[in-house]
Amino acid sequence: MTFFQQLKAAAQTEWVAYTEHPFTNAMADGTLPQAAFRHYLVQDYLFLIEFARAYALAVYKSPSLADMREAADGISAIVDVEMQLHVKLCGEWGLSPDTLERAPAAPEMLAYTRYVLDAGMRGDLLSLKVALAPCVIGYAEIAARLAQKPGALDASNPYRVWIGEYAGSAYQAIAAKAVAALDNLKSRYATSARQAELVAIFSEATRLEAEFWEMGWRIGREK
């Protein structure tokens, strides 16, 4: 069992609430209100900016050059690849880069990103990567599950691009690399005394990710 699997098992209630949230299931069958997804897209763009800052913190927290290179690769992947793909997807939904950058940050977005940065500031690189794991690895798991649902990738489903992007081999490889990186860090820095602390970080980060979905889901019900 990988360290990620151990964390997931210890936070099973939170993990299921996050990865099987109604928002995600509604993307698969195409019933998610478009206002909900549009709001999510805007906040996710702002989230990616904060996520890049978290990886910048990972560079600072890295005890070795290899760790620094890995964190720097993460920044590049977010800023140079994922954000550009996100802008393209947002454009298809009528959201311009200017609209995205001028949007006010939702409390749910701030809560999660501030928590991740705080966990990294207070702890070491392992603490930071544990806080990042629900997003990095969770999106891969969610999309892989959704992609198996009938009609999820059909041309008629407006959310097929999102599902296909995160279920695709490129992102799945990123998630697999993150799982391996957690194992590597655990072997170097985790102790039995830290287990409860790391589970607590993972559980809270996962809960806050579920709140991110709930934010969009609530918007959809209000429209």
Per-residue pLDDT, 193: 85
Share above pLDDT 70 across residues of the chain, in percent, rounded to a whole number = 98
CATH architecture of the region 3-222:
Up-down Bundle (1.20)
- Domain boundaries of the chain, sorted by first residue: 3-222
Q: Tell me, yes or no, if 70 is annotated catalytic.
A: no
Q: Are the beta carbons of 21 and 212 closer than 8 angstroms?
A: no
State pLDDT tens for residues 162-196.
999 999 998 999 999 999 999 999 998 888 889 99
- Catalytic residue of the set 14, 90, 108, 135: 135
Q: Tell me, yes or no, if 209 is annotated catalytic.
A: yes
Q: Which two tokens stand for residue 8?
A: 């997931």
CA-wise closest residue to 202 among 143, 123, 145: 123
Contacting residues for 21 by C-beta, under 8 A, at least 6 apart: 210, 213, 214, 217
- Catalytic residue of the set 14, 82, 108, 209: 209
Per-residue pLDDT, 147: 98
State pLDDT tens for residues 16-67.
999 999 999 999 999 999 999 999 999 999 999 999 999 999 999 999 999 9
